[in-house]
Amino acid sequence: MGYITEGIIKAFELLITFDPETYSAIEATLKVSSYSMAASLAIGIPLGFCLGFYEFPGKRSVRTIVDTLLALPTVLIGLLVYALLTQKGPLGKYGLLFTLKGVAIGQAILALPIVIALTATAVESLDRNLRITLLSLGVNRFQLLLTCLWEARFGILTAAVAAYGRVLTEVGISLMVGGNIKWHTRTITTAIALETSKGQFAMGIALGLVLLTIALLVNLSLSFLRKRC
List, as one string, the DSSP characters of 141-192: HHHHHHHHHHHTHHHHHHHHHHHHHHHHH--HHHHHHHTT-TTTT--HHHHH
pLDDT over threshold 70, residue 1 = no
Name the average pLDDT for the chain: 87
What pLDDT does 2 receive?
A: 61
User: pLDDT tens digits for 164-211?
Assistant: 989 988 989 999 999 888 889 999 899 888 878 877 777 788 888 888
pLDDT attached to residue 8: 75
CA pair distance 134, 144, nearest whole angstrom: 7
At residue 222, the pLDDT reads: 76
Residue 82 predicted with pLDDT over 70: yes
Choices 1.20.1300.10, 1.10.3720.10, 1.10.645.10, 1.10.1740.10: CATH for 2-228: 1.10.3720.10
Angle between helices 201-228 and 153-169 (to 10 degrees): 170
Flag whether pLDDT at 54 surpasses 60.
Answer: yes
In angstroms, what CA-CA distances link 88 with 82, 83, 85, 93?
10, 8, 8, 9
The secondary structure of residue 73, as a DSSP letter, is -
* Span 7-41, pLDDT tens digits: 777 777 878 888 898 889 989 999 999 999 999 99
Provide mean pLDDT across the span 88-92.
Answer: 89
For the chain, what is the total number of helices (H) and then of strands (E)? 11, 0
Domain boundaries, the chain: 2-228
Each residue's pLDDT tens digit, 149-159: 888 888 998 89
First to last CA, the chain: 46
> How far apart are the C-alpha atoms of 174 and 185, rounded to whole Å?
8
Q: Which pLDDT band holds residue 137 (cuts at 50, 70, 90)?
A: confident
